[in-house]
Copies of this chain bind each other. A is one copy, B any other.
């Protein structure tokens, strides 16, 4: 096991009716900016619940934060917040709304001329506004972590930052808010959760048996619960279990003492930027190919994954192959397409994708995947 530091001060309030606790969680004397996305929260009653819970508190709103939140959009919110001397941000929605709001929390008090420098790592975060969250889409884990991913179409960039000042003060998780999600977002959420768990798990053994089993616990639970949610979208416990899995898959615990491989995420960002496909869709295309390419490097954990998660009993070699096939099968079973062709991405575009990487870039837990390796992974996609 490797040395690590773990610190996760996010307060979680989980369960049906929990939005009503908002009033006791936000600072009552603050000027609050509530942020949200395209307005689904107005249709499913969440907006009204938030409004009722904030009765007597001064708040403004900023809407229009899109999936893969855009820098230009967020900067409009930054301007609004600065003008109104906002000192608390309340994100209501999914991971994109929260990630965008986390970025805003650092950008609002930022002194430099170009807050994008924060995303590029050219500027540090000296101070960030406090953020609270009502999470309505189990997927990214953003509700219990310090990550934010922001896109900028003008420069074809999608970048992630990791800073302790970005952790929400609190996150409210009411599984009932997920009842009205479209299937596509449920599918995306399940695959995104799966991917967070496996990218921290499927590397090489570092003698971390508890962390391994904590990852397998999430994967086994997803295998069990995912089919149920499509059959009965209003099954409270199923929604609650999927939500709790999503939070756990990226709250930092799985990575403690181990090593992660975010290759699929890193490559996936580029597919999203270039083709506008959903984040989880990009992962479902790439991950099987990453596993095929890295089979030798990951063989011990691949066999463990096959045996423990899918119950495969075969030779190590065949168990690894079957585990990859079973992964694809699971993705498809929840309605996720897994082929480049499903999204009209032709092999002739691989050069364009490769163009997003520098010669010195190295991916994989052993830092062995160079540009040639990335090309090979793309060629191994279905």
A residues lining the B interface (CB < 8 Å): 1-18, 175, 207-211, 213-214, 216-218, 220-221, 224-225, 236-237, 240-241, 244-245, 248, 256-257
**Set of chain B residues within 8 Å of A11, measured between Cβ atoms:** 5-7
Whether B14 contacts A209 by the Cβ 8 Å rule is no
Q: Given B5, B217, B245, which contacts A217 in the complex, CB threshold below 8 Å?
A: B217
Whether the pair B256, A14 counts as a contact (CB closer than 8 A) is: yes
Shortest A292–chain B CB gap in Å is: 28
Contact A241:B1 (CB < 8 A) given known A9-B9, A217-B214, A217-B217: yes
Residue of B nearest to A1 (CB): B240
Specify which of B15, B241, B248 is in contact with A207 (CB 8 Å cutoff): B241
Assembly CA distance A241 to B16 (angstroms): 36
A244 to B211, CA, bound (A): 9
Q: Which residue of chain B has its CB nearest to the CB of A2?
A: B15
Q: Which residues of B contact A1 (CB under 8 A)?
A: 15, 175, 236-237, 240-241, 244
> Given that A7-B12, A14-B6 are contacting pairs, would A256 and B244 also be in contact in the complex, using a CB cutoff of 8 Å?
yes
CB-CB nearest in chain B for A11: B7
Q: Are B3 and A17 in contact (CB under 8 A)?
A: yes
Tell me the smallest distance from the CB of A139 to a CB of chain B, in Å.
16
The reply to whether A240 and B257 contact each other, CB–CB distance below 8 Å, is: yes
Q: How many Å lie between the Cα of A18 and that of B3 in the bound state? A: 8
User: Once the chains bind, are A210 and B256 in contact (CB under 8 Å)?
Assistant: no
In whole Å, how far is A170's beta carbon from the nearest beta carbon of chain B?
Answer: 8
Complex CA–CA separation, A216 to B220 (angstroms): 13
Contact of A4 among B8, B14, B214, B257 (CB under 8 A): B14
A175–B208 Cα distance when bound, in Å, is 14
Collect the chain B residues with CB atoms within 8 Å of residue A210's CB. Answer: 217-218, 221, 241, 244-245, 248
Contact of A213 among B2, B9, B217, B236 (CB under 8 A): B217
Taking each of A18, A211, A217, which has the highest tally of chain B beta carbons within 10 Å of its own beta carbon?
Answer: A217
Cα of A256 to Cα of B256 in the assembled complex, Å: 21
Smallest Cβ distance from A234 to chain B, in angstroms?
A: 15
Cα separation A58 to B280 with both chains bound (whole Å): 53
Q: Is the CB of B209 within 8 A of A213?
A: no
